[in-house]
Chains A and B, each alone.
Chain A
Amino acid sequence: MSALLSVTGLSVRFRMRQGRHIHAVTEVSFDLAAGECLALVGESGCGKSVLAAALLGLLPGNAQVRGAALLPQGPDLLSADETTMAKAVRGRQVGLVPQSPAAHLTPVRTVRAQLEETVRELTGVRRAEARTAALEAAERAAFPADHLDRHPHQLSGGLAQRAATALALVGDAPLLIADEPTTGLDRDLVEHTVDELRRHAEDGRGLLMITHDLAAAERIADRVAVMYAGRVVEIASAADFFGPPGPRHPYARGLLNALPEREFTPIPGNPPELGALPDGCAFAPRCTRVAKACRTDTPALVEGTACHFPLERTAPAGAGAGATAGMTGPRVGGGGPR
């Protein structure tokens, strides 16, 4: 089956004053199949939201983009001009559930008016049908019907988020990008929101969910990609990642172990500045497995892990042991982990 979205070598740099550059996203490649949900997880500032903005053509003027992001019958999202993105891509081919709904909703108009207008704009249906379609979208996003005539400022953060989700669902785009769709929602609503997003993928659409919420990712994702300092450091099936095999990249393992349901222990230190990345592996200053090679050679993403000394999968009883055998040795010269 061909991919719904195929991203290769995506890099984003921001030009700053004094000729400095911020490497927000570096060499990211992944495919998203129809019906699949890929969760992109990582700490704030790891580049995951910049990646979403790049795919939607929403980067600021000082951004330099490399690579390609192809839709089956659409343009390259990274090189299409703004008119194409606005007229043919955003809302129609790629829907966005935004991180900050306040910025996404028009403050002076009611939620109902915005939903109906978006329906008409995207589908050209008449007023009466737009009314029904707007109601349906609101319902799918769990937005209460008796709040439809409110203005955005009269909504709580949670309701504003659901209004923005409804707006994203209205165009029925084949690819949905959700950028932190559950921030500020309580657990029940998180589950409702992500389940709805998941359902969207179920009928052959693709869902890229960018989130810091590992529980939300575990609930709906088929695959998980972990970003650190602008790179994807691990990409694995959700079953392997959250299940007994566990993540193989030390950072991914640390992130998962920080959950209150697990060890609740933070990864020591802080992520590096994206404007001053160290040579070699960007996680080296915080990594317990660091060895000499880590400080000079940037590990490439091989078999789903970008690490010179990946952890062994805790072999699940009976299954999967063969698949990972032989992958745990060092990939570069210079000795094993200390």
Chain B
Amino acid sequence: MSGRAEQSNRSGQPKRSGEVPALALRGVTAGYERRAPVVRDVTLSIAEGEAVALLGPSGCGKSTLARVAALLHRPYAGTVTIGGETARGWRHRAPREQRTAVGVVFQQPRMSADPKLTLGALLTEPLRACGRGVEARRLGAELAREVGLDEELLGRRPHEVSDGQLQRACLARALVLRPRVLVCDEMTGMLDASTTAALVAVVERYRWRSGAALLAVGHDRGLLRRWCDRTLDFESAGGMTDSGSGGLRLRRAKDRPLKGAEHARTPRPPDTTTPAS
């Protein structure tokens, strides 16, 4: 089984031939000050179709790691590979096929959504950014249904909808290019229990159909254990501080073998919306 996280496996090779991890981070050190990185030497790999949770307190560096994995933040050291290919750039310098292979959803939809765009424009933004604007109308409506967003909301702007509705739109935006890897950074941190369960169900339906891998970052142990195949704990080397003086390491990989009937950890895709495939 690939997808095991080690502290310093620098081999850079998948353990078994033929098993290319969907996402792999090797020896990643990252942060905002070179002398005081918030993430140190983290290695982790996620197999195709696998869901891995990173669990840690706020300010521990897990969000930074999520941004590195989503090719949004350049690490000081280490490599990121997506589908076996090493990342060659970050942010807008990332090659398009790599950038579009990863979808990302953040905790605060209001900070990641352009307030001037309607929800319809917001969720099809990535299509236009890669020259597929003609498909926007059709795919937009399809995605809105997929994430449970009423079609009449698509004409509204972020301030005219609730956090839950806006987060549905942000999730749709992350899915519009059909990524092979999804990174959810505290996606449901601001949401109530029902909206949380609904968004997790959307992600799982998408993964069920597409075989995409998931990196879910958060602090809600109950939620992440129920949602993901494996849960990795971050531990702070610097005590309770958000200053980045300590830096973080992956403590251990906790494999959570599925117990009996618990196999269906996540809400199975409702039959009505899952195309028979």
Contacts and interface: CB of A to CB of B under 8 A. Distances in A.
Interface in B170-217: 186, 189-198, 200-201
A324 interface: no
A159 B193 contact: no
Contacts of A156: 58-59, 242
B274 interface: no
Contact of B267 (A184, A256, A264): A264
Interface string A89-128: 0000000000000000000000000000000000000000
Nearest to B266: A264
A303 interface: no
B276 to A, nearest CB: 21
Contact of B58 (A185, A259, A261, A270): A185
A155 B243 CA distance: 8
A227 B192 CA distance: 12
Contacts of A45: 162-165
A158 B133 CA distance: 39
Interface in B12-33: none
A280 interface: no
A258 B194 contact: yes
Contacts of B191: 44, 212
A19 interface: no
Interface in B195-251: 195-198, 200-201, 219-223, 225-227, 240-243
A144 interface: yes
Contacts of B223: 260
Contacts of A41: 192
A264 B200 contact: yes
B46 to A, nearest CB: 21
Given A155-B242, A260-B222, A214 B193 contact: yes
Contacts of B193: 212, 214, 255-256, 258-259
Interface centre among A144, A147, A186 (most CB of B within 10 A): A186
Which label, helix, strand, loop or mixed, suits the secondary structure of the B interface? loop
A79 interface: no
A264 B107 contact: no
Contact of B150 (A43, A215, A256, A270): A270
B194 A254 contact: yes
B49 interface: no
Interface in A246-279: 254-256, 258-261, 264-267, 269-271
Contacts of B220: 187, 260
B84 interface: no
Contacts of B194: 43, 254-255, 258, 266-267
Contacts of B196: 258, 260, 266
Interface range, B side: 35 or more
Contacts, number: 103
Given A44-B195, A144-B240, A158 B226 contact: no
A177 to B, nearest CB: 19
A184 B150 CA distance: 27
A144 B240 CA distance: 9
A309 B56 CA distance: 43
Contacts of A255: 192-194
Interface in A10-42: 41-42
Contact of A266 (B165, B190, B195): B195
B57 interface: yes
Contacts of B162: 43-45, 271
A187 B242 contact: no
Given A183-B189, A258-B194, A159 B242 contact: yes
A189 interface: yes
Given A44-B195, A158-B58, A265-B267, A260 B227 contact: yes
A157 interface: yes
Contacts of B241: 144, 147
A186 B58 contact: yes
A259 B191 CA distance: 12
Interface in A173-192: 183-189
Contacts of B242: 155-156, 158-159
A42 B222 contact: no
A43 B164 contact: yes
Interface string A41-67: 111110000000000000000000000
Contacts of B192: 41-44, 212, 255, 258
Contacts of B190: 44, 183-184, 212
A52 to B, nearest CB: 16
Interface in A286-300: none
Contacts of A157: 58-59
A41 B193 CA distance: 10
Nearest to B107: A184
B115 interface: no
Interface of A: 41-45, 144, 147, 155-159, 183-189, 212, 214-215, 254-256, 258-261, 264-267, 269-271
Interface of B: 56-59, 107, 148, 150, 162-165, 186, 189-198, 200-201, 219-223, 225-227, 240-243, 266-267
Given A155-B242, A159-B59, A189-B58, 20 more contacts: A43-B194, A43-B195, A44-B162, A44-B164, A45-B163, A144-B240, A156-B242, A158-B59, A184-B107, A184-B189, A186-B56, A212-B191, A255-B192, A258-B197, A260-B197, A264-B200, A266-B198, A267-B194, A270-B148, A271-B162
12 contacts: A44-B162, A45-B162, A155-B242, A157-B59, A158-B58, A158-B59, A185-B219, A212-B190, A212-B191, A212-B192, A254-B194, A266-B197
